[in-house]
Amino acid sequence: MICTRCKTSVLRIIRSQANRYHEHRLKFRSHSSQADKSKPVFQRPQLKRDWSLHPMLSIPVVCFCLGWWQIERRKAKLQLIADIESRYLLDPVQLDCSEEYLEYTPVKFTGKFDYSKEFYLGPRHEIVDHRDKGEAGGYHSIVPFTLDSGQRILVDRGYVSNRTDSPVGQIRGTVTLSGYIRLPEGAVMASLAPASGTTQTYIWRDTEMMAKKADTLPISVELMSQHSIQGGPLAGQTRLSVYNKHVEYVITWWGMGLASLFYIINFKRKPKSVPAVFK
């Protein structure tokens, strides 16, 4: 049997040890909690959706469509070139002023030249085998021509090195000629004052204006090479030129589209610096 006094002493000792253990545990928890609070916790910044990039998506789409359109135009242009080349090689047909001809259609006609109203077109290159030769220092001699029917047209006799009223190389009397139908080249850029006599120089082939001044039909024919005159105009100045740079346009449009698409995909708005969050 344990006496009451001894029992009280034992309980007191047990309680004292328990209190010490509890206090030590509380101190350990407090220290651990402070250590956790002092450790920074970094949060990954959230990037907001950048709605300003959505309208830019139309740029590569438009560029791709324009590039495809240039491919279709190139197909049509190649077909046009093939048609012109095949038409150019046909035998000349008798010129009928009441009909409308496609450009580069070969025709033949009979009549006389009227040198009283001669025009010069230039400055131009001399053309040899459908290619430019030398510098653009010469001119084309365009002379009214009276047909056997009494109708008048414009005939491009060919290349001359200088504008002159000299009768050198002029064809007199009734002749039968052949050439190619030529359409107007565009608006007249400039109409210079007459160089001498009744001559007048044009930069572009303005058939309508020349026809009004020379009292002819708005029909222009460029003579074939066999009608060249020694010491006079060099015929055969027809150049089969059709503007065809659609491949370059396709590369340009699709290149711009790929560049804009690459920019949109790799574009990121720089996030604002987010400080460390301490708990």
The domain boundary, picked from 227, 245, 262, lies at 227
CA distance 167 to 118: 12
Q: Specify the pLDDT at position 188.
A: 45
Report if residue 126 sits inside a domain.
yes
Determine contact, residues 180/99, Cβ cutoff 8 Å.
no
CA distances from 47 to 50, 55, 270, 272, 275 (A): 8, 19, 9, 9, 15
The model's pLDDT over 73-108, given as tens digits with 9 standing for 90+, comes to: 999 888 888 888 888 888 999 999 888 898 899 999
pTM over 0.85: no
To the nearest 10 degrees (0 to 180), the angle between helices 246-266 and 58-88 is 170
Q: Domain total for the chain?
A: 2
The domain boundary, picked from 227, 255, 272, lies at 227
- Co-location of 111 and 220 in the same domain: yes
- Co-location of 110 and 223 in the same domain: yes
The model's pLDDT over 7-21, given as tens digits with 9 standing for 90+, comes to: 566 566 666 666 666
Strands 200-202 and 119-128: what pairing? parallel
Query: Which residues make Cβ contacts (< 8 Å) with residue 203, sequence separation at least 6?
Result: 121, 122, 188, 189, 190
- Co-location of 131 and 215 in the same domain: yes
Q: Who wins on pLDDT, 40 or 230? A: 230
> Cβ–Cβ contacts within 10 Å for residue 178, how many?
18
Report if residue 242 sits inside a domain.
no
Q: Specify the pLDDT at position 28.
A: 57
- Confidence check: pLDDT of 277 > 50: no
Q: Specify the pLDDT at position 238.
A: 84
Report if residue 236 sits inside a domain.
no
Report if residue 78 sits inside a domain.
no
The model's pLDDT over 153-176, given as tens digits with 9 standing for 90+, comes to: 999 998 988 766 555 678 888 999
CA distances from 163 to 125, 166, 168, 229 (A): 14, 9, 12, 16
Find the domain containing 123 and state its range: 105-227
Report if residue 147 sits inside a domain.
yes
**DSSP letter, residue 41:** B
- Confidence check: pLDDT of 265 > 90: no
Report if residue 166 sits inside a domain.
yes
Tell me what percent of the chain is helix, strand and coil, each rounded to the nearest 5. 35, 25, 40
CA distance 153 to 219: 5
Report if residue 258 sits inside a domain.
no
10 Å CB burial of residue 200 (0-12, 13-18, 19+) is buried
The model's pLDDT over 103-147, given as tens digits with 9 standing for 90+, comes to: 899 999 999 999 888 888 888 888 877 666 766 678 899 999 999
Determine contact, residues 112/99, Cβ cutoff 8 Å.
no
Q: Specify the pLDDT at position 5.
A: 56
